[in-house]
Every structure is written in C-alpha cells, then in structure tokens.
Structure 1
C-alpha cells in the first residue's frame, strides 16, 4: 500500500478518536504543508506514521489549548514538530502573537517536548536536506534500545533484507529461492515473519489479491542489524 492510502487511513484513524474542537482542528489544520512533511520527510524515513499524532492538543503556560502540527511520542520521547511558512500570515503577525508563539515553544520544552521547526519552503525545494537533518536528530532516540537488536532477526531474515535493499526495495519469493538456495516453504515463513515485524509489506499483483512481491520498509534503525 502506497503513501496516499496509508496517509488516508492514518488521518481517518485519528478522526474517529476525536470530536468537537479537536476534530475540527484536525480537519482544518492538517493542510498542504503538513501533508507535504509527512509525504516527503516522515514517510521516506519510517515507511509508516506510527506514534505520529497530527494537530496534537497541548496546554500552554496559561492552561489554554494549543494545537501542534505534529507530536511524535515513542516511550518517554516527546517531540513537537511545527511546519512554518513565510507567507502573509507570518509577515503580518503582530508582536503579541509573535511573543506568545515563542513563549509556547519555550513552555513545550519545559513540559518535556523537544521542539523542531520545519521550513515549508524546504519541503518543496529541498526535502533531502530536511530528511538528512531529521535522521541525525532522531537517531539517538531510536538507537537507545538497540542492544540485542540483531537477535530480533534470524540470519536468513537479515539476508533477505540485505537483498531487498540491493534490489531497490522489491523482492520476489521465487528469486530468493533461486538466489539463496533455500526451500520455498522456508522463504515464505521468513517473509511472513518480516511482514509481522514491520520490515516488509506484501504487494499484490495488478487486479489480483495474489501476492507476488514484497516491498522493504526502511528505518534509520536498520544500521544496527547489518
């Protein structure tokens, strides 16, 4: 399943769990810039939107509700992500609003959030730069619990993932059987386990429910298993 379908499912998932102003804010606030960030930065890094919350409600220092473009929550990690454009609304922002925005960002850090501002213009013209910066920013958080990570995958599973990377992310069971000299049943079991672990995604043939290929789901944690 590609980004458009996964993004739609992700937004619907959060809509079903909201009502009132929280639902209205999600419908109004998750616009072009926010979707661009998910599509051009988050999706290429993770291949999914797990633990990423759009238009997330927090309270500011006055106790008033405030919605952050995205909050990423993973265990004890909390990151607040704001997509910021330089448009008329920024140019015309009065001093009071500007001061409040800075105070909110400071308060978020006091509340335990790491605050990250993403330039909208870079999402359109230089997403690779933003991806690189985010990988460096996220890596320490993701690698905290990598001790013993290599034991989560069998030798065959790791070899299948290596092959998938070399083959531009797509592999066929028949090619694995031929290339690795492994019984088809063993290959199928390993492919199923990798799907369950979130490392592969089955790709049905056109106009059919029959799975003929598998797509590799990248992660910046993968360096810990090679």
Structure 2
C-alpha cells in the first residue's frame, strides 16, 4: 500500500468513528499542511499510520477542549505532533495566545505527553531535518518498548548501538560506534557485525568495503 492509499484509508477510518463537532473539526483541520507532514516526515520514517490520530481532542487545566494536529498513541507513550505555520502560529498570535500556547504544552508535558512541533516551511522544504528530529525524539522510546519483540531481548550495549543508529538517521558507521563507546575500530565493527547476525542491522558496501550499517525492516517492525 502506498502513501496515498494509506492516507485515504486512514481518513475514512477516523471520519467514520466521529460525529458532530469532532467530525467537523477533522474535516476542517486536516488539510494540505497536515497531510504533507504525514507524507514528507512521518511516512518515510515509519511506513505506516498506525497509532496516529488526526485532530485529537485534549483538555487543558480548565477542562477547555483543544485539538492537536496529531496524537501518536502507541503502547509505549503519548506524543502530540503539531504542524506550525508562521502566519497562524506566530505572526497572528497576541500575547495572551502566546502565553496560553506555552502553558498548554507545559500542562500536557506534566500529564505525560511529549510534544513535537514542526514548522510548515521545514515540512515542505527541509523534511529531512524533521525526519532526523522525529527519529531523535521517538527512537529511544521504541528501543525501550518491552513489547516482547526480538529487540526487547537485546543487551544494554546492543540497545545503545541501535539507539545510536536511530539518532544518526537510521544508519551508523564503525567509527561512530568507536567514538561513542570509546572502543577500538575493530571492536566497534565486531559489535555491529553481531547485530547483522541477529538481523537488526544490514551492511551497506562501497565497492568491496562495508562503509556503514543500516537498521533493517525487521528491526524497525520489532521496535514498533
């Protein structure tokens, strides 16, 4: 299933499950910018829209209803994801709205949410920056997820190497590991090759030389 098919099914599912103002909010709120965030940032990292909820209703400390652009609600955490356009979120914001926006994020953080904000300009023109930051923010939670997957049985050292690969955008080099772990190049390469043997990394060659190691689809599925 490609992105457009997945997105259509995603919207049909959530529209069918809503009525009244919550349905109207989804129809009005999920537009070009929100779809572009999914297409340019989320889909290339996860390849699925599972656990994503568009225009998700939350409440502030006064029980005032608010809507997040997206809530990502996997078994291991709660993430609020916002697509912020300069015109609507900065230029037209007065002091009261600015104060409320900061207080809302702090309140949600206190209630266990992890809030992620991406600018529309970056989503449209620099999505690779957004993907890197998304990996950095969500990757450690995936690696700590005790879901019973094979990655859950990894040793602390192996989990740290997988976490490093997430932080570096999905791939890691032996010299990255050597620097991060303060070990020799040979030891770093041996540790990476053990992860290859377990199916969590795959070597990427330049000619006859392995230059880096990428997270495999099997590892990504196991982490999720």
CA RMSD, 1 decimal: 2.9
Distance 1:64 1:58 in 2: 8
Q: Please identify which structure carries the higher helix content.
A: 2
Q: Is residue 85 of structure 2 the alignment partner of residue 70 of structure 1?
A: no
Can you give the 5+ residue segments of structure 1 that lack an aligned partner in the other structure?
Answer: 153-157, 167-216
For residues 122-142 of structure 1, what are the alpha-carbon distances to aligned partners after superposition, in whole Å with 9 as ceiling and x for unaligned? Answer: 011110111111112111111
Distance 1:124 1:59 in 2: 30
TM-score (ref. length: structure 1): 0.66
Structure 1 residues 220 and 34, CA gap change in structure 2 (3 angstroms): farther
List aligned pairs for 1:132-143, cutoff 5 A: 132-143=132-143
Counterparts in 2 of 1:163-202, with a 5 A limit?
A: none
CA contact (8 A) 2:60 2:107 kept: yes
Alignment of 1:68-107 (within 5 A): 68-87=68-87, 90-107=90-107
TM-score, reference length from structure 2:
0.66
Contact 1:47 1:219 in 2 (8 A): no
Partners in 2 of 1:115 and 1:125 — Cα distance? 22
Partner of 2:60: 60
3-state DSSP of counterpart to 1:143: helix
1:188 is matched with none
Match of 2:121 in 1: 121
- Counterpart residue number, 2:40: 40
| Contact preservation (8 Å) 2:150, 2:222 | no
Higher relative contact order (CA 8 A, sep 6+): 1
Q: Distance in 2 between matches of 1:35 and 1:219?
A: 27
Runs of 5+ unmatched residues, structure 2: 154-197, 206-215
Q: Within 2, Cα distance between the matches of 1:88 and 1:6?
A: 28
Rate the CA distance shift 1:11–1:88 in 2: closer, same or farther, 3 A: closer
